[in-house]
Each structure stands twice: as C-alpha cells, then as structure tokens.
Structure 1
Amino acid sequence: MRNVKISIYGLFLIALFLINPLHVKAANMDYTISANIPENQIDKSQTYFDLKMKPGQEQELTLNVANSGDKEITLNIIPNVATTNQNGVIDFSEENRKIDSSLIHPITKLIKGEQKVKLAPKEKKLVTFKVKMPEEKIQGKIVGGFYVYKDEAESNNGKSEGGVQITNKYAMVIGIQLIEEESTISAELKLNTIQPSLINYRTAVTANLQNIKPTFVNDLKVVAKVSKKGSNEILHQTTKADMAMAPNSNFDFPISWDNQELLPGKYILDIVATTKDNEWKFSEEFEISAQEAKKLTEEAIEVKKAPDYLLIGGIIAGAVLLLILIIVLVIIAYKKKKRRLEMEKRRLA
C-alpha cells in the first residue's frame, strides 16, 4: 500500500477574541511562546495583543519563545490574517489564502515578514516584530495572529499504521487585534458565488458568505435550502449553528447533496443567516452545467444515482410497441386461420 502523509494540526489558540476559546493539551510540545503585553493594551488580562493605536503609529511587538526540549529546534513565526474556514471557525493558519476583497488593511501589510528562530536545548529568546498603522484613520478591528510551528522535519515524529504515515504537527497562535477607537460596528453579510463542489469527496453545493465589515460575527446560524427553479419542493437542506466569522473575511458554506448525483439544471438557493442581533435573507438562482455535473459526480464517492427516466421511458415505450406488435401478429394470424377455415368449408360444401 502506498504511503499517505496525514498532517494533524494541534492548534493552540492562545486567543480567540470574542468567541469561545479552544483548550488543547499536547504531550509532545517542547516549546512555549508568549506575548509581552505593552502599555497600550486595552485589556491587560488577555494574553494576546489587544492594542489601541493611532494613525501612522509604529510599535515593536515582542514575543518570548523557549525551547523546553533536549534538542535544537527551529520555529517558524508567521504573521497571518484572521480568516474563516469552511466549518465557520476563525483560522490563523492559512498563510497563502487570498485576502478578502473587503479587507483594506490586512495585518500582513502592517507587520511584514516571517521569522525563523533557532533555539538550542533549554534556550530562551526574545523575538521582535514591528507594526505600523495606516496613515489614514480607520474604524473597526484589524485582526490576525502570529502562527508558530516547528520545521516539518523536526515535527515528523509520527508512525506508520497500515501504510499510512501519520505526522503530528502542533502549532500555536498569539492573536493580534488592533483598533484606533472603540466604536460599535454592525456586521454585514453578503452572498457571493454559488457553485457545485465536492466536500470530502461527497457531492455538495457551496455558497460563499462574506462579512464585509471590520467586526466579528459571532453565534452565527445558517439555514440553506435548495429547490429546482419553478418548484417549491426542497431538494436539499443544511443547517449549521455556533459559527463565527473574522472581520472582513469570507468562507464557502457547504450544502450537502445527500450523496445524490449532481444533475444539470437551474436551481434556487434560499439562505437565512442569523445572529443574536441580526438576520440576513438571500434568495439566488444558480445553474449546474452538464459538464460540471458529470465531472464532479464521477469524482465523488458513495453517490446514489438518480433514476434514468429517459432510459426507463425508452424501455416502457419499447415494451408497449412490442406488445402492440404481438397483438397485431396474433390478429393477423387469427384472420388468416379464419379465412382458411371458411375456404375449406366452401370446398367441402
């Protein structure tokens, strides 16, 4: 069996800001990282950077890193934009994801460059980054995080089970939240592209939801229903609650196709998205092309094929024609036999 590498990320979220924190303990963690909280910290009880700054202000952010193990390690410390993943969870690990179109000042432009830090056994170091706010005045929050993980070769302490190579890769995040003034901004959601897709190799349709405001969306619930255009029958429905969205971010909300094959045609997607304070309703038409339907259905697993009504209709039509043909032949044979008997009677008379 071929070797397959599976990376399992134990993501230690030092700060999840306004959403529920995730507590994870890793037995194999051999390094620590913490933020040195500066004077302009808004909430000094927090362990992430929660800073109030001025337009054009430049400031150093320092991190304490320590190697508690017996081997030299190399840590990658990367400033990342806060994004929203497909599960409706705020994510700090996506280094190469395209910046959301509504995000004017991503953290990666305010804090430039990643750092590689080598640590000898039991060594501690101070790591410094510089942050510079935009010159113009901004509203809302700029959010990101320092994403920290060991070099892949050093993290490869997994084992092979049945030909599957399992690699445990642990990571940590120190959150960053920057504001210039404390103000209340209401979230605003948009519905963008709707398209057929595969989620874990199963048929689905995804609807791109976008938070276009520099504020968090918390306790988000989405109810999505799909019907055929011109029909009120609900073909597929997905409901998911307890989600969150980062400021100025988007994600593809998946609508399960219930393991049915994707069929070409025009559909209507109705979405109701709610939080404690807001509700958004969307109703959009979308189309699945024959080419998309064929390609994705062929690549999907556990697909329940829809009945081929054209084939069934052809079989029924063929059976009816065959029955008619048999009846006609029987009638012709009967008439021939009757005519022959009448001629035989005349001959004997």
Structure 2
Amino acid sequence: MNKKFKCLLLFLTCFILGIIANPTKVSADIKGIAVTPLIEDSSITDRFQIISKSGGTRDLKVSISNFNSSPIDLVVAPTNATTSPDGKIIFTDMIKKGDFGLQYAFSSMTKTQKVTVKANQTKDLTFKIKLPNNKVKGLIMGGFNVYENTSNFNSSANVPVWITGDNKAVGGILKAYNLTIGVQNYQPHMYVNLQNDQPGLMKNVIVHMTVKRQSWLDRFNLGPKKMVADLRYPKIAPNSKVPIDFNQNQTPIAPGTYKMNGVARSGKTVWNFHKTYKISQSDANKINSKSRNLIYDKTLTYILISGVLVTLIAFIFWGIWYQNRS
C-alpha cells in the first residue's frame, strides 16, 4: 500500500465519519488544518450550544485534522468572544471575568490544551466545561481559539460555544469605554472603544463618531482637523469591546486633549457619547517611534516663523521711524 493510497484512505475515512456525525468544519486560516466541533443530537452544527440551569459539567469534543506533509503544534485556548473593528465576532483576545461587565469568563470554565498533530493525522480533544452554579442570564458567547504555537494569533480558527440559561434574548447597551493608540502595518492608529456591557448579542448597529484634538489654533480655524468615522457593525458580541478605528496614515500621534462625540443606533434605540481623553507625550512618542514615513504638521512652525518675521519687520520700521524723528 503506497503513501498516496494511505493518504486517500485516511481522507475518505474522515469524510465518511464526518457525514455520520453531521459536523460542520470551522473555517480556518491555518493552512492545511481543519477544525471540527463534534456535535451530537443538535440541528446546530457550526457551534456548541449549552442550556445551563443548574451548573454541572459538559464534555465537548473538537476534532483537528492536519492535511499538511509535516507535523504542526497547536494551542486550543478557551476565551470569550469580542468584536472586531469591521463588526465580526472574533476569539483572539484573552478575556477575563470583569472585562466589559463580563460575569462568567469561559477561560475559567475549562483549560487550554496543546496538541501536536502529525502529517495526515486527525486528533480529537475533549474539554470538560464546568458550568456556573447559578442560572445563566442572557448569553455567554465563549469559544476555542485554535492557533499555531509559534504564530501568536497570526493565523487561527474558532469554535464557538454558546451558553445560555433559557434562550431568552437580552438587549445590549453601548457605553464609552476608553481611547487607545497603537501601530498597525507601521502606521499609527487611534481607537475610540465603546463597550457592550450586557450579556446580549447585538445586531445591525450603526455608529457615527468624531474625534478632535483641542488646540488654541482652533480660534483661527487652523487647528487639527476633526476625524470622522461612519461604521456599521453586523454583530456585536455580548460583554465586548467595540473598537472604532481612526487610521492616522502618515500623521503622527500628537499629545493633548481629544474630544469625542458620537451616536449609535440599533433599530429604534439610540445612544449618544460625549467624552474627553488625554494622550501623554510619552505615549505618543512610543507609537510614533514604531511607525514609518510619518509626515509632521508644520503649521505651528510656519506661524512662529511668520510671527518672528512680522515682529522683525515691525521693529525695523519702528527703528527707521524713530531715527528720522530724532
């Protein structure tokens, strides 16, 4: 039996078993890796769904197949869902109890597992989930983040785990959370972060947000321009941060006081936001030092040079006038 035939036989075996168990493969960005939740007795096949009323434990099984020609080391880490800047549900942030009003952290219900999957091999992992003793209010949107042990979340696959007490919907509430700065692709970014602090999945949320750095030059309409973001979030995870990205492109982060104003709508519900944040010189320097090809605004420099020149010319004319008068 040659190697190609063995590979084909392994693939057909996995495929037939998959049809029998009726699983759905979770989309993976890890090349050649398929991650499948092994779900029984449920019409929902793209996630685990648990109704928890009195605690206890549940066993969840995840199948990982490696179709590459070399082994791969993977980490399967439990965490809670959060929201990406483009309105997608993601599991790449390690969320802890208390974050964004979270009452139950999925990471405390089970343990992270590491696994080595050989070439053309399939391995099943079992996770024992310890459910809260009290009845769960709303929705705990947990999940497993599967990533390479050396990639630091650069490529990953997600297996969602929904835990609810009664399947009743809970509405979300948006609040201003904070303002942060960071670097992406060697460009500085500013993020105004909202938060949904309720255990409810939100849908079709439209956000209009403006941010402006305050300056004395505003009196002369020469101050920094107002940054504007108009975004639509198809979904916002329960108890999650909602980042609004302001790409600075080649403009460096400037220290100072920033004023944020915004409004968010979901159906007939409207939230208004008004808050002031401060960015220190040291924080701005850290971000700018990691960025490339920055173009600095020289408006203030030009104004100072113009002021010096005007003062110098005025002084010369005054000197000439004074000398003629004498």
Q: TM-score, normalised by structure 2?
A: 0.74
Say if 1:198 and 1:254 are closer, same or farther in 2 by CA, change over 3 A: same
Verify: 1:176 aligned to 2:150, yes or no: no
Verify: 1:324 aligned to 2:318, yes or no: yes
Q: 2:10: which partner in 1?
A: none
2:179 to 194, 197, 206: 194
Q: 1:34: which partner in 2?
A: 36
Q: 1:225: which partner in 2?
A: 210
Amino acid at match of 1:312: S
- Contact kept, 8 Å, 2:81 with 2:142, in 1: the verdict is yes
Q: 1:278: which partner in 2?
A: 269
What is the CA-CA distance between 1:90 and the residue it aligns to? 2.1
Q: 1:110: which partner in 2?
A: 109
- Contact kept, 8 Å, 1:229 with 1:267, in 2: the verdict is no
What is the aligned-residue identity percentage? 22
Q: 1:126: which partner in 2?
A: 124
- Contact kept, 8 Å, 1:33 with 1:64, in 2: the verdict is yes
- Contact kept, 8 Å, 1:236 with 1:258, in 2: the verdict is no
What is the CA-CA distance between 1:182 and the residue it aligns to? 1.6
| Equivalent-residue separation in structure 2 for 1:168 and 1:246 (angstroms) | 19
Amino acid at match of 2:90: D
What is the CA-CA distance between 1:174 and the residue it aligns to? 1.4
| Equivalent-residue separation in structure 1 for 2:288 and 2:316 (angstroms) | 35
| Equivalent-residue separation in structure 2 for 1:252 and 1:200 (angstroms) | 17
| Equivalent-residue separation in structure 2 for 1:26 and 1:203 (angstroms) | 26
Q: 1:338: which partner in 2?
A: none
Say if 1:204 and 1:179 are closer, same or farther in 2 by CA, change over 3 A: same
Taking only aligned residues, the RMSD between alpha carbons, in angstroms, comes to 3.5
What is the CA-CA distance between 1:55 and the residue it aligns to? 2.2
What is the CA-CA distance between 1:286 and the residue it aligns to? 3.1
Structure 1 residue ranges without an equivalent (≥5): 1-22, 156-166, 336-349
Q: 2:136: which partner in 1?
A: 138
Amino acid at match of 1:318: L
| Equivalent-residue separation in structure 1 for 2:75 and 2:284 (angstroms) | 42
Structure 2 residue ranges without an equivalent (≥5): 1-25
Q: Pairwise mapping of residues 1-349 of structure 1 onto structure 2 (< 5 A)? A: 28-29=31-32, 31-39=33-41, 41=42, 44-95=43-94, 100-111=99-110, 113-152=111-150, 170-194=155-179, 200-202=185-187, 205-227=190-212, 228=214, 235-256=226-247, 259-260=250-251, 265-289=256-280, 301-308=293-300, 309-329=303-323, 331=324
What is the CA-CA distance between 1:179 and the residue it aligns to? 0.8
Amino acid at match of 2:270: E
- Contact kept, 8 Å, 1:236 with 1:256, in 2: the verdict is no
| Equivalent-residue separation in structure 2 for 1:130 and 1:279 (angstroms) | 41
Amino acid at match of 1:84: T
- Contact kept, 8 Å, 1:78 with 1:147, in 2: the verdict is yes
Q: Secondary structure at the match of 1:321?
A: helix
Say if 1:179 and 1:119 are closer, same or farther in 2 by CA, change over 3 A: same
- Contact kept, 8 Å, 1:260 with 1:306, in 2: the verdict is no
- Contact kept, 8 Å, 2:28 with 2:158, in 1: the verdict is no
- Contact kept, 8 Å, 1:229 with 1:268, in 2: the verdict is no
What is the CA-CA distance between 1:317 and the residue it aligns to? 1.2
Number of aligned residue pairs: 292
Amino acid at match of 1:212: D
Q: Secondary structure at the match of 2:267?
A: coil
Say if 1:168 and 1:263 are closer, same or farther in 2 by CA, change over 3 A: closer
Say if 1:314 and 1:97 are closer, same or farther in 2 by CA, change over 3 A: farther
Q: Secondary structure at the match of 1:182?
A: coil
| Equivalent-residue separation in structure 2 for 1:186 and 1:324 (angstroms) | 71
Q: Secondary structure at the match of 1:138?
A: coil
Q: 1:4: which partner in 2?
A: none
Q: Secondary structure at the match of 1:318?
A: helix
Higher radius of gyration, 1 or 2 = 1
| Equivalent-residue separation in structure 2 for 1:170 and 1:221 (angstroms) | 29
Residue by residue, what CA displacement relative to the aligned partner does 1:162-215 show, whole Å, maximum 9, x if unpaired?
xxxxx9964322111111102121110110223566555545543221110111
Say if 1:283 and 1:80 are closer, same or farther in 2 by CA, change over 3 A: same
What is the CA-CA distance between 1:131 and the residue it aligns to? 0.9
Q: Secondary structure at the match of 1:326?
A: helix
| Equivalent-residue separation in structure 2 for 1:195 and 1:118 (angstroms) | 37
Amino acid at match of 1:132: K
Residue by residue, what CA displacement relative to the aligned partner does 1:235-267 show, whole Å, maximum 9, x if unpaired?
222222235321111144233557555555544
Say if 1:291 and 1:47 are closer, same or farther in 2 by CA, change over 3 A: closer
What is the CA-CA distance between 1:101 and the residue it aligns to? 4.0
